[in-house]
Every structure is written in structure tokens, then in C-alpha cells.
Amino acid sequence: MTPASSSVSGGASKTTARRFSASRLLRTLLPAISLALVLLAIANFNPRAISYFGFTLMLNLAIPVALATIAQLMVITVNDLDLSIGAFVGFTGCVTATWLPNQPLLGCAILIGSIAVYAGLGALIHLRRLPSIVVTLGMSFVWLGLAILIRPTPGGTAPGWLHGFVSQRLPWVPFPVVAAIVIAGVVHFGLMRTTYGTTLRGVGGNANAIERAGWSLLRAKMTAYAFAGVFGVLAGLSLVGVSTSADANMANGYTLLSIAGAILGGAEFVGGRVSPIGAVIGALTLQLAAVALNFFHIAALPNLRIPQEWQVGAQGIILILILAARALINRGDR
């Protein structure tokens, strides 16, 4: 190879590397860009919403969704999918509102036992090589049935300490914003910066290599599902803390929201490719999308009632647009 051809080849390689780096950066920033666009829409429809009080109201229910999304992310990390997380959050909410105020030891024991059940699901799926979708779909009926047995009608009450914690007023920054930052930071460190977090992601990326390296795939699956149970319990606790009561169907939509939030945040169903920070941003974006639609309704169509299905549709449109943008970026890398 002549020096001239070598320089041309080197220049082409550098150009390709720069293009790949720019595309990767753009893919990483897509969740933040989507959140910024939704916030701009809200500011356009109702500028007063962009305030301490406005963010507190808009994001209160985003924290349970963010926690449920992280629970889903833990399962996606090991290439599985959890179709029971919504029913599980509803179950933990019913347990919280029924027993934690007056019988905290019993309530805590049930919640800890439910996390153990989640870990057992991971073991069952791994040992019997069962499809996670089928197993968790079946468990969704179990969790829903248990929730109905606990609370056949809406009611109960949130423990005082729980309601006080989620409704506290922090100086300068609303509590939901601080909570979202803490959740994203803690999970990002645990999953992306620790040795065992790398192992869990490796199970989703190359399970055979992880096993050859001496790590137990069974333990990894059980750990991922146990953490999903932990964050599911936290989602139920925070939801009851905000709503101050419980209903067996209070979190039915969380399953699809958790999947959408994780995918919107950059997660993929294969390869162990996840982004905890992106997942939290995705959850916030989906929650704010419904708020933006309500503000649009008030500003442009004050006499028209917006059905709940329209809010779900707005969230779906955002997800489709982000996935389309990601596909275009990936095509540009080729």
C-alpha cells in the first residue's frame, strides 16, 4: 500500500469514527431531547406550569411510574420481559394501604415475601427455560387476584410517614425532581459502574461467556428479578403515598408504561443494552405527555373532554417518533 492510499484509508477511518461517535451521542441524547420538547409544549400551553408548584403537581405520579420502569429495566437487562409489574404494583399498594398503617410487621413480611417470589420466578424461568412473557403474564393474574382479595373495594390509608415523605417540600427543587435524580443516579451506579452490574448486563449480552467466566446464570437471573421486585414494591409504596389509598386496579397501565419508558430511554430487548438514566427520563416524558395533552385541551378545546385513551395515544405517538428517530440514526451508521 502506498503512502497516499494509506493516508486516504486513515482519513476515511477517522471520518467513519467521528460519524459513529456523533450518532452514538445523538442516540444517547434522544430521551433528553424528547423530554425537552414535551416541556416546551407545556410551557407554550401554560407557562405557569413551569414552576416549583407546577412540577410538583405534574411529576408526583411520575415517580411511581419511574420506579416501575426501573423494575422492568432490571428484567430487560437479562433479556426477559415482565408483563406482571402493573398488577404487582397494585398488589403492593393494597398491602401497603391495608396493613402497613396498623400492622406494619405483617405488611413488611408480605412485601418481603413478594420480593422472594419475584426471585423465585427468575429461578423458575431459568431452570425450566420457560418464556418470561408467559410466566409473568400468568403471575399478573395471581397478583391481581391477591390484590382483589385484600381490597375488594377501593380504600385503606397511607401510613403517615409515607405520605409525609412523598409530599415533603424541599427548598428550591421540587421533591419529585430530586427523587427522579436520585433513582436514576443510584441505579446507574449499581448497574453500569459495579462489577456485578456488568455481570447482569453480560447475561443479556452473552450468557455463555458469563457462564464460562465462572458466574452463576441462575444467581444472576434471581438477582435481576429480586431487584425488579424491590423496585416494584417501592413503586407501590410511592403510589399509595401520593394517592393516600389503594385499589386493586390502580396500576394496571404501569406494565405498558414501564416497557415504553424503558424503550424510550434507550433499552433494547436483546443484548443487555439498558440505560437507567434514560429509563427515568423516558418515564418522566410519558407522564408529562399526558399533562401536555390536558393543557392543550384546556387552551384550545375548553369545552371538550379528553378521554383517557387519548392520553395513552399521545404517549404511544411519542414512543413511535423516538423509535423512528433511533432507526434513522442507526441507518446513518451503516
How far apart are the C-alpha atoms of 139 and 162, rounded to whole Å? 27
- Report if residue 2 sits inside a domain: no
- Structural domain range at position 273: 31-333
pLDDT > 90: percent of the chain: 51
Classified as helix, coil or strand, 46 is coil
- Report if residue 238 sits inside a domain: yes
- Report if residue 13 sits inside a domain: no
User: How large is the average pLDDT for residues 12-26?
Assistant: 59
User: How large is the average pLDDT for residues 145-170?
Assistant: 92
User: How large is the average pLDDT for residues 14-20?
Assistant: 54
**For residue 174, what is its C-alpha cell?**
421540587
CB 79 within 8 A of CB 204: yes
pTM greater than 0.75: yes
**For residue 29, what is its C-alpha cell?**
441524547
Closest CA to 234 of 282, 281, 274, 182: 182
What is the number of domains present in the chain? 1
- Report if residue 17 sits inside a domain: no
Res. 185: pLDDT tops 90: yes
Angle at 120 between CA 142 and CA 66, to 5 degrees: 70
* Candidate from 137-151, 184-198, 307-321 with smallest mean pLDDT: 307-321
Res. 254: pLDDT tops 60: yes
Res. 296: pLDDT tops 60: no
Closest CA to 59 of 284, 275, 262: 284
CB 226 within 8 A of CB 118: yes
- Report if residue 14 sits inside a domain: no
User: How large is the average pLDDT for residues 325-332?
Assistant: 67
- Report if residue 9 sits inside a domain: no
pLDDT > 70: percent of the chain: 81
CB 90 within 8 A of CB 248: yes
- Report if residue 285 sits inside a domain: yes
Matching residue, cell 406482571: 84
CA 332 to chain centre: 28
- Report if residue 18 sits inside a domain: no
**Regarding predicted confidence, which is higher, 325 or 129?**
129
CB 56 within 8 A of CB 175: yes
Read off φ and ψ for residue 247, nearest 5 degrees: -150, 140
Q: What is the mean pLDDT of the chain?
A: 84
Categorize the per-residue pLDDT at 8 as very low, low, confident or very high, splitting at 50, 70 and 90: very low
Where are the strands (E) in the chain, listed by range? none
User: pLDDT by residue (tens digit) across 78-127?
Assistant: 999 999 999 999 999 999 999 999 999 999 999 999 999 999 999 999 99
How far apart are the C-alpha atoms of 48 and 105, rounded to whole Å? 44
Q: HSE on the CB side for 193, CA within 13 Å?
A: 9
Read off φ and ψ for residue 58, nearest 5 degrees: -70, -30
Classified as helix, coil or strand, 2 is coil
pLDDT at 294: 65
* Candidate from 44-58, 117-131, 170-184 with smallest mean pLDDT: 44-58
pLDDT at 306: 56
The CATH number for 326's domain is 1.10.3470
Res. 172: pLDDT tops 50: yes
User: pLDDT by residue (tens digit) across 203-222?
Assistant: 988 888 888 988 999 999 99
How far apart are the C-alpha atoms of 83 and 258, rounded to whole Å? 10
